[in-house]
Chains A and B, each alone.
Chain A
Amino acid sequence: MKEFLTDQLKTQEYFLNMGPQHPATHGVLRLLLKLDGEIVRNVDMDLGYIHRSIEKMCERATYKQIIHLTDRLDYLSAHMNNEAVCLLAEKALNIEVNDRIKIIRTIMDELTRISSHVLWWGVTGMDIGAITTFMYGFRERELINDIFEETCGTRLTMNYNVIGGLRYDIHENFVKRTKDILTHLKKKLPEYDKLLTNNIIFQKRLINIGVISVEDAIAYGLNGPTARGSGVSCDIRKTHPYSAYDMVDFEEAIFTEGDSFARYKVRIKEMWESISIIEQLIDKIPNDEHKVKTKAVIKLPVGDFLQRVEASRGDFGVYVKSNGQKFPERLKFRSPGFANLTALNKMAYGLKIADLVAILSTIDVVVPDIDR
């Protein structure tokens, strides 16, 4: 019977569009899949659905105005993106910021990282079929967003860093709220493990799925938690410390398996590391100015400048070519998501569609970051 079927019935590969409006692509990303039954043979990525030409807009924006545009790249690491532009301008103009600014920036960075990772955790659970995790992830995220709202005025696009410091000083409740959220998280993160990490169904969906070796990870230019899941040490906070990261003691989360579950574990571990970083800094905020005086119109000197920061998804870089005017001559963002997405084809080859969804969510794509 089987022979009859394989002889008589023709099979052929076919194409399927996943997206641009697909809940699992986390935005308007279109994947063109070449399928053999349910087996993925090729993944083509079609970008451009949310292209806003932010880099070009930046060429017509003053350096102060550029900062708020970077919020709109990876909106889940808005704070780090802002910081990259500010650090770049400060480096170019030789502005030395005080420890208070550095420490507050670092705490804000880590809070952003936690809020991004809890959201990712919830969404990953949901992609794989556990809707409860989405609600639990948002519960923690809302509390962190409250901190942002109280100090920065907004929940998502904070726009809190300015060149030479911070827009406002921290709110008087900031320290207390941050400590509260740390105790809250330390109670809730073990729950995440009970609910999802140790769940056998969840593990079977991730272990040995989407494996990418160290060599391939480096060759594709992967970065952030995605690369650290393959054993690449690439944390900018360690390799090129900025702000207050040289004052704290933390461990880079690295797992060597290279599969989806390793990437998952990296992010869970990063949350614990972020908690420890904030704990080390929260009592050490010195009394000082929250802003260094700068000129009203900021003009960078002639030359090329580059600044890298570790955003929630990896290495975020800003490159500015300045001709001494108040607008940059050319500005380039190096976004972590774009490099990570390129490896999708390699990871998903030969797996099922459902595995592709799992891989996509452990890469943690944010489409506005990929498509600028």
Chain B
Amino acid sequence: MSYFSDIINGTKTLLTGMRVTGGYFFVNFFTKRDVITQQYPNNIETLEMFDRFKGEVIMLHNENNEHRCDACTLCEKACPNGSIEILGDKAKDPETGKNKRFLVKHIYHLQMCTMCGLCIEACPVNAIDWGQDFHHVEYDRSLLTKVLNKPGSKIMSGIKG
């Protein structure tokens, strides 16, 4: 007796399950409403990420190609895995005549960065921030080492070094 009730029960539970999957199959086939799988974003150019999305660390520049970084190296010290190297130098400030530190290169190793955000938090002048780019595919890992200050950029006036 239990043999037959097993068969009937088994078929019944199977059909209940298939009603769920079948429902999605037909509804989605006709309405394309709940389509849940998609290709790797092929709308990369137009895709908008959430505004807090952590893609990479970038340095903010204004329209005159000026940044706010005064090479204080606090971000370098805050980073848990040495992803940031600051190359700074000293030069005479023409206004005050004192020696002043300035940034030569802000080197950022994206391949080592864990997106922890400690560098951005540590920066006293908000010179760096999150960038939204997530498409970091390269054939060579050395290409992921970036210089964050743009070529020819200099420090904004009013930031004390």
Contact = CB atoms under 8 A, between A and B. Distances in A.
Given A194-B19, A195-B20, A150 B52 contact: yes
B36 A135 contact: yes
A239 interface: no
A149 B50 contact: yes
A56 interface: no
Interface string B84-120: 0000000000000000000000000000001111100
B8 to A, nearest CB: 10
B145 interface: no
Nearest to A296: B122
B2 interface: no
A154 B36 contact: no
Contact of B10 (A64, A146, A168, A200): A200
A146 B116 CA distance: 19
B29 interface: no
Interface string B46-77: 00001011100000000000000000000000
Interface in A81-111: none
Nearest to B55: A153
A68 B80 contact: yes
A157 B115 contact: yes
B10 A198 contact: no
A149 B13 CA distance: 37
Interface centre among A69, A191, A200 (most CB of B within 10 A): A200
Contact of B118 (A64, A146, A154, A168): A64
Interface in A145-203: 146, 149-154, 157, 159, 167-168, 171, 191, 194-196, 198-201
Interface residues of B, number: 25
A153 B54 contact: yes
Contact of A139 (B20, B36, B80): B36
A69 B116 CA distance: 9
A151 B50 CA distance: 9
Interface residues of A, number: 30
B17 A159 contact: no
B116 A194 contact: no
B7 to A, nearest CB: 10
A21 interface: no
Contacts of B117: 153, 159, 167
Given A153-B52, A171-B52, A195 B80 contact: no
B52 A152 contact: yes
A96 to B, nearest CB: 22
Nearest to B16: A194
B50 A68 contact: no
Given A195-B17, A199-B17, A150 B116 contact: no
A199 B36 contact: no
Nearest to A149: B50
Interface of B: 6, 9-10, 13-14, 16-17, 19-21, 36-37, 50, 52-54, 78, 80, 114-118, 121, 130
16 contacts: A64-B78, A65-B118, A68-B80, A68-B118, A69-B80, A149-B50, A150-B50, A151-B52, A152-B52, A153-B50, A153-B54, A153-B130, A154-B53, A199-B13, A200-B9, A200-B10
